[in-house]
Amino acid sequence: MKKPCHQNLKKFNTFGIDIYTKNFFRVSNYSDLEYLIDISKNYSKIFVIGGGSNVILSSNIIDALVVKIDILGINIISNDSNHILIDVGAGESWHDIVVFCLSRGWYGLENLALIPGTVGGAPVQNIGAYGLEFSEYCHSVFAWSFKNNCFIEIKAQDCLFSYRESIFKKNNNDYLILSVRLLLDKIWTPRIGYHDIKKQITNCVAKLTPTHVFDVVCSARRSKLPDVKALGNVGSFFKNPILEIPELEYLKLLFPNIVFWNHIPGVSFKISAGWLINICGWKGRIIGPVAVYKKQSLILVNINNANASDVLVLAHAIQEDVCCKTGISLEIEPVIF
C-alpha cells in the first residue's frame, strides 16, 4: 500500500518554488482514493495539486497533505449528430484534451488551447482565453467532498462559474475533482470575436477551420507568454478589474487611453490590468528574485529561486502603487497556499 511521502515540489509548480511537503500522495485509481479518504481525516490542511500552473506555494504546504491527482481516461457518455458528452479524468493534461477533441471533430475548446495544467484544474478558476470560458462547454464536475464526506456531481449551473471564479475556488480544497464532463459540438461555430484572433484571420474567414483557429491561438500564446521551463511563472498574476459604466466614465477622464472590453454588455467592462501596471511604470521592474515580465506586465517571473514571500512583496507593491495612482484594486489570480 502507498503511503504519503516526503516530496520536493519544485517540479510540481510552474513558478518553480523550491519547497517540499512531508505528505505527498498520488491518486491514480479508485483504490488510492479509498485510502486517501481514510487518511485525510488525520490532516488539518489538505492541498490538491494538478499541474501547479496557478499556485504559489508557501511554507503552509510543508505540513499539509498534498494530493496529486493522476486519474486518466476519456469515456463517451452520449453521442448524437450535433453533440458529444465526454467524461475526462481530472489528471489528463488540458491541452492534450483540446488536441484530442479537435482531432476527433469534437469542437468548442480551440480558443483554450495551450493553457497549462490539468483537466481537474480547469473548473477551479473557470479558465478563459480569447473570448471563451471553460464554463461554456462544461456539463458537470464529479468530485469527492472532504467537507461532507461524500461523492458529488455538480451540474455546471451549480458550479457558480464567473470570471476566473467557481465554487471550487471559493471553497478551496473542500473538493477533490475526479472527472469533468464536457459537452462538445459536432457542428463548429467559430468564436473569433476576440481582437487578437480577428486580426489574424481577416483574410481567410470564408475558408476558416477549427484547426486554423487552434493554430492562431497557439502561435499568439507562444509569441506572448514566457515558457515555464525557461522562466517560472503562473500566467496572469492579476485579474482584469471589472468596473460599471459610471466608474469607467470617471477613469476615462483621468486616462483617456485606458484599455477596456465589454464584460456584461451595457452593464460592466473589464479593464486591462496589464495596461494599468504599465502606466504605473512597473513593466520589467525587479524586486529581489521576482520581476514583472518585460513583454507582458500581467506576468510575474521567477528570476532567481524566489519563494512565496518574495512573490508577494512584488505583488503587493504593484497593488499598492496601482491603487494609489488609479484608485483601482488589483486582485491576485493564482491560489496562494
Ligand X SMILES: Cc1cc2nc3c(=O)[nH]c(=O)nc-3n(C[C@H](O)[C@H](O)[C@H](O)COP(=O)(O)OP(=O)(O)OC[C@H]3O[C@@H](n4cnc5c(N)ncnc54)[C@H](O)[C@@H]3O)c2cc1C
User: Which residues belong to the active site?
Assistant: 164, 236, 333
> Please, what is the minimum distance in Å from the beta carbon of residue 324 to ligand X?
28
Among candidates 18, 22, 20, 19, which has minimal Cα distance to 5?
22
| The binder of ligand X chosen from 101, 113, 122, 216 (CB under 6 A) | 122
Check: CB of residue 15 under 8 Å from CB of residue 33. Answer: no
Does 125 contact ligand X by CB under 6 A? yes
Q: Which of 108/120 has CB closer to ligand X?
A: 120
CA atoms within 13 A on the CB side of 5: 7
Helices (H), 181-244: 195-201, 210-224
Q: Which span sits near ligand X by CB under 6 A: 48-56, 75-83, 183-191, 210-218?
A: 48-56
Does 302 contact ligand X by CB under 6 A? no
Does 90 contact ligand X by CB under 6 A? yes
| The binder of ligand X chosen from 65, 182, 234, 273 (CB under 6 A) | 234
Pairing of strands 65-69, 20-27: parallel
> Please, what is the minimum distance in Å from the beta carbon of residue 74 to ligand X?
16
Does 115 contact ligand X by CB under 6 A? yes
Cross-strand bridge partners of residue 73: none
- Nearest 5°: CA angle at 164, between 129 and 154? 110
Task: Give the Cα separation of 56 and 205 in Å (integer).
Answer: 41
Does 14 contact ligand X by CB under 6 A? yes
> Please, what is the minimum distance in Å from the beta carbon of residue 266 to ligand X?
25
Interface characters, 168-207, with ligand X (x: CB under 6 A): x---xx-xxx------------------------------
| CB-based burial, 215-250: b 16+ in 10 Å, e otherwise | ebbbebbeeebbebeebbbbbbbbbbbbbeeebeee
Residues of this chain that interact with ligand X (CB under 6 A) are 14, 47-55, 69, 90, 115-118, 120-122, 124-125, 127-129, 168, 172-173, 175-177, 225, 228, 233-235, 335
